Amino acid sequence: MATNIIIIDDHQLFREGIKRILEFEKSLQVVAEGDDGSEVLTLVEEYRPDIVIMDINMPQMNGVEATRKLIEKYPKTKIIILSIHDDENYVTHALKTGAMGYLLKEMDADTLIEAVRVVADGGSYLHPKVTHNLVKEYRRLAAGESAARVSPYVPAEIRRPLHLLTRRECDVLQLLADGKSNRGIGDALYISEKTVKNHVSNILQKMNVNDRTQAVISAIKNGWVKVR
Ligand SMILES: [Mg+2]
């Protein structure tokens, strides 16, 4: 069954680009488009999409406000935010309103498709660069907390989870925490994107998490990756 998608963005050319990329995949179908957040309720009522892809900056009602209104009325709607901002305040704000995904407009086609798939399956998806910023922020906060309790000179010790993952999977996990996309990981390790995807799905299964964001957060908490 196809995943039905609505795109809300005030730039027609950008909407068309997204639509073209999504419809290249047989299982994804763009059923409606709107150019302002104020249209989203009407469109969702009419088309009942699986996913709403929502721009943040729009002239009348912005994407965060529209997300809030939409979640209020249809709490199960899966919303992916599109933004040019990768700083943590924007991301946290958008996620607090109930969005399940956060993409940067600089994304590549594969990232867009992967995000839609993951969110359609009930997971959450953050652009790799956004994940990296959140990880850095988390690390900063955690370092602040431990510095208050223990000596600040204790070096952060990294223990690779070799009881759980293969060496190669540990490398992939580290590159996920570095904010690399599948393509970026493939380039770094000289392996194909398909092989990267296999490694990632094995990592998720072994770590018992639903998506790569959860895997990175869990790896940070356990001290399994460096934040660099
Ligand atoms: Mg806009």
Stated as kind and residue range, the H or E segment containing 215 is: helix 212-222
Q: How far is the CA of 24 from the centre of ligand 1 (A)?
A: 23
Per-residue pLDDT at 150: 45
Q: Put the strands of the sheet holding 3-8 in their side by side order.
A: 28-34, 3-8, 51-55, 78-83, 101-104, 125-126
Q: How far is the CA of 2 from the centre of ligand 1 (A)?
A: 27
Q: Any idea what DSSP says for residue 39?
A: G
Q: How far is the CA of 63 from the centre of ligand 1 (A)?
A: 9
First to last CA, the chain: 41
Q: How far is the CA of 158 from the centre of ligand 1 (A)?
A: 41
Per-residue pLDDT of the chain (228 residues; tens, 9 = 90+): 899 999 999 999 999 999 999 999 999 999 999 999 999 999 999 999 999 999 999 999 999 999 999 999 999 899 999 998 887 778 888 888 889 999 999 999 999 999 999 999 999 999 988 888 887 777 777 776 665 554 443 335 678 888 889 999 999 999 999 999 999 999 999 999 999 999 999 999 999 998 888 899 888 888 888 877
Stated as kind and residue range, the H or E segment containing 18 is: helix 12-23
- Summarize pLDDT for 123-180 with one digit per residue, the tens: 999 998 888 888 777 777 777 666 555 444 333 567 888 888 999 999 999 999 999 9
**What's the pTM?**
0.71
Q: How far is CA 8 from CA 24, 96, 124, in A?
A: 19, 19, 19
